[in-house]
Amino acid sequence: MNRPPVRDDLVAMAGYHSPQVDVEIRLNTNEAPEPPPEMFMRRLLDELSQLHLNRYPDRTSSVLRASLANLHEVDPSEIFVANGSNEVLQTICLTFGGHGRVAASFEPTYAMYSQIARSAQMNVVEGLRDEHYRVSVNELDRVMETYEPAITFLCSPNNPTGTPESPELIKRALERSSGLVVVDEAYGQFAKFTALDFLRGPEPPESLIVTRTFSKTWSMAGARLGYCVAPSWIVEEFDKVVLPYHVDSIKQVAGRLALDFVSEMDERVNRISVERTKIERALRELGLVVWPSEANFVLFRSTNPLFPGDLIWECLLDRSILVRNCSSWPLLEGCLRVTVGSPNENDLFIGALQEIIA
């Protein structure tokens, strides 16, 4: 029998892949280096034992949304929760994108912006970041004026470079855009500025969405829980495309309980930030180019032609250490990205690099 064809616009696309290799030290996917607090796990198991899994979950995730609204000082009607922030991005593209509309991002950046936008049949425009991996005002204006995107994605701090965007740049995007401006703050707890401040102001913009995730600082990558803060009229529109009961009961309980451990999360962020500084210092001492990061990872590049990024990646893998090879990404030739792990993992990573380069 003949195989039925997939959509014409999907034929040339490849899926999103992050290498999953059996190694002792995995520092390639920006996960938290430690599990959630023990008390969180105890309370989670206790509440899960009382769940009625034969019943559908709360369709609107009302309790979790109220808890997130309290955390961010907004109204629950301005919170949308989903299965990871990727589903939030997908919902945005399905609601405000579609055939013929334009999505804009600025390379190098998170690959799923273009992947999800294309799967929603959008035309993707990719502007370029400057030499510091920030979005310049001139490039922002050029993209806005030339393509009038329906959705503009700004990643702050940016993945994979760790560079944040300024409040002035985001304000400029809101002023120039005739569509939505989506600020992805998956690593927002590490940054000095959050675009949430715009939504909490006296005149919040009607076209701004800020996305967040539980995967990084909350140590819950395995739970696949994300959300966004947006004007209530946008959240209402999401109901037209989102699947019913899409956030399961277990996920809703886990997210709500996690918010009782904000101080523990803040302490985790501080520990990771200290370790990140240690990694940055060690990499510079090895003569590597390092970009200052406001996230839980560090981007670096070798300037020694005898030790290109691909070779360093392979040598680390030989030592059972997996980092992310970004060499094939736009404007990132020879670059590697290392997630900040536990202190011991970071020491072993640094020691391996010292051994390789020496």
The pLDDT of residue 233 is 98
Q: What does the alpha-carbon distance between residue 5 and residue 90 come to, in Å, rounded to a whole number?
A: 23
Rg (CA), the chain: 21
Query: CA geometry: angle at 188 spanning 183 and 289, to 5°?
Result: 100
Q: In what order do the strands lie in the sheet with 208-213?
A: 79-82, 226-229, 208-213, 180-184, 151-155, 102-107, 123-128
How far lies 165's CA from each of 132, 230, 276, 342, in Å? 11, 19, 19, 27
Nearest alpha carbon to residue 243 among 116, 67, 90: 90
Q: Which residues contact 170 (CB under 8 A, 6 or more apart)?
A: 154, 156, 181, 183, 195, 198, 208
pTM across the whole model: 0.95
The segment(s) of the chain belonging to CATH 3.40.640.10 are 52-261
Residues in a beta bridge with 184: 155, 211
The segment(s) of the chain belonging to CATH 3.90.1150.10 are 8-36+263-357
Cβ neighbourhood burial of 164 (10 Å; 0-12, 13-18, 19+): buried
pLDDT tens for the chain, 358 residues long, are 688 877 777 766 666 666 667 899 999 999 999 999 999 999 999 999 999 999 999 999 999 999 999 999 999 999 999 999 999 999 999 999 999 999 999 999 999 999 999 999 999 999 999 999 999 999 999 999 999 999 999 999 999 999 999 999 999 999 999 999 999 999 999 999 999 999 998 899 999 999 999 999 999 999 999 999 999 999 999 999 999 999 999 999 999 999 999 999 999 999 999 999 999 999 999 999 999 999 999 999 998 888 899 999 999 999 999 999 999 898 999 999 999 999 999 999 999 999 998 7
The pLDDT of residue 303 is 86
CATH number of 52-261: 3.40.640.10
CATH class of 8-36+263-357: alpha beta
The pLDDT of residue 208 is 98
